[in-house]
Amino acid sequence: MPGLRAPSDYSQEPPRHPSLIVNAKEPFNAEPPRSALILSYVTPVDMFYKRNHGPIPIVDDIESYHVDVSGLIGSPAKLYMRDIRRLPKYNVTATLQCAGNRRTAMSKVRTVRGVGWDISAIGNAVWGGAKLADVLELVGVPKLSNVTQSGGKHVEFVSIDKCKEEKGGPYKASIPLSQATNPEADVLLAYEMNGESLNRDHGYPLRVVVPGVIGARSVKWLDSINIIAEPCQGFFMAKDYKMFPPTVNWDNINWDTRRPQMDFPVQCAICSLEDVIVTAPGKVRVCGYAASGGGRGIERIDISIDGGKTWFEASRYQKPEIPYVADDISSDKWAWVLFEATVDVPGNTEIVAKAVDIAGNVQPENVETIWNLRGILNTSWHRVQVRVGHSKM
């Protein structure tokens, strides 16, 4: 492909912030320290988790870079950056969360396969770019289409990176045409992150952002778009990122029995405290993030300081000084909500947080009940152990 190229080794990786916690070096997978996540509503680019399946692609010539659009549409098209920039630009604040977020905690129940992540494989950014609905309209697919004239029902995004799981082929994923052509779904072809040009780690020159859906569908380094009849059969759609019950193991797994995971479930985690803290008796600040999929807002965040016996509500906010109201037009529907509470810890205890979304969905109490062999979607109550030490002053 002219303009964009995929190296086959890791000798040309971009620079990264030294305080990221590296979970895998090659491919590069890293997350910020949890305390960094709650310093701002919008996550700085260098502190945003990086989740890759191969070496980072390189742009040689941005002028010749283009996206090929083909498949079940009237006529194939080539879209250059200037074509995409000419479309109306939208800034969408959306949280991206890897389905593997909190996998390390799940692996403590029983071994799971996959890169280990603490609680920071999530971030909130302002993505700038064209709406996919406008891009598809440009190539002849009307807004709010469920099917194209030639039977296309899904939109496949193909990258250029070389992934081991794809036997050296590119990362790919698809979403339904109805979502892709719905302007309100806010699916973007993004060229900016937090007001700057996308950087290489996050998909330069162009990536897909599918708000409210697990990060795996937001394909980076977009090379082509195919309109297809069935969901994409790539590895990451067909043989990964599916949710199985705890009874399924590597001997009895049948991937075809499950749909590719799309929306993420309601989630929250405490970022102001590590898994085990030692403190003097007195006040402790409990802060973190909560997010749900599908644009569902956060109705409540409950905090317990007695391991889940009794609860009280934390305060919620997105922007400073503005109380967050789920579903209000002043709220960012695709974005996380930060929460805060100050609690009194009299002695050794367990602090717990759980969120409720506007559909009334709640997080499961125990990780055991949602354990799955790939270690995805760990949304169990987030727990922190408190050890109270009496220091002599």
Q: Which stretch binds ligand MTE (CB under 6 A): 65-73, 85-93, 142-150, 213-221?
A: 213-221
Total of residues contacting Mo ion (CB under 5 A): 4
Q: Which stretch binds Mo ion (CB under 5 A): 43-51, 62-70, 250-258, 301-309?
A: 43-51
Under rule CB under 6 A, residue 50 binds ligand MTE: yes
String of DSSP letters for 206-250: -EEE-TTB-GGGS-SS--EEEEESS---SHHHHSSS----TT--T
Under rule CB under 5 A, residue 98 binds Mo ion: yes
User: Count of H helices and E strands in the chain?
Assistant: 6, 24
Under rule CB under 6 A, residue 219 binds ligand MTE: yes
Under rule CB under 6 A, residue 333 binds ligand MTE: no
Q: Find the residue with minimal CB distance to Mo ion.
A: 98
Q: Which stretch binds ligand MTE (CB under 6 A): 66-74, 216-224, 280-288, 289-297?
A: 216-224
Interface positions, 289-348, toward Mo ion (CB under 5 A):
none
- If the CB atoms of residues 96 and 353 are measured against ligand MTE, the closer one turns out to be 96
- If the CB atoms of residues 51 and 162 are measured against Mo ion, the closer one turns out to be 51
CA trace torsion 100, 235, 168, 152 (10° rounding) = -120
- If the CB atoms of residues 29 and 107 are measured against ligand MTE, the closer one turns out to be 29
Cβ neighbours around 298 below 10 Å, total: 26
Q: Find the residue with minimal CB distance to ligand MTE.
A: 215
For the chain, the first-to-last Cα distance in angstroms comes to: 67
- If the CB atoms of residues 42 and 314 are measured against ligand MTE, the closer one turns out to be 42
Q: How far is the CB of 156 from Mo ion (least distance, A)?
A: 18
- If the CB atoms of residues 89 and 239 are measured against Mo ion, the closer one turns out to be 239
Do 132 and 201 touch, CB atoms closer than 8 A?
no
Among 106, 135, 216, 338, binds Mo ion (CB under 5 A): 216
Q: Which stretch binds ligand MTE (CB under 6 A): 4-12, 46-54, 303-311, 331-339?
A: 46-54
Among 4, 37, 42, 98, binds ligand MTE (CB under 6 A): 98
Q: How far is the CB of 165 from ligand MTE (least distance, A)?
A: 9
Do 367 and 304 touch, CB atoms closer than 8 A?
no
Rounded to 5 degrees, φ, ψ at 369 are: -70, -20
Tell me the C-alpha distance between 383 and 372, whole Å. 20
- If the CB atoms of residues 53 and 382 are measured against ligand MTE, the closer one turns out to be 53
Do 297 and 358 touch, CB atoms closer than 8 A?
yes
Among 23, 43, 52, 148, binds ligand MTE (CB under 6 A): 52
String of DSSP letters for 357-388: ETT--B--S-GGGG--TT-----S-EEEEEEE
Rounded to 5 degrees, φ, ψ at 179 are: -75, -40
Strands (E) located in 102-254: 122-131, 154-158, 172-176, 188-193, 196-197, 207-209, 224-228
Among 30, 133, 175, 216, binds ligand MTE (CB under 6 A): 216
Tell me the C-alpha distance between 313 and 55, whole Å. 44
Binding site for ligand MTE (CB under 6 A): 48-53, 96, 98, 159, 161, 171, 202, 215-216, 218-221
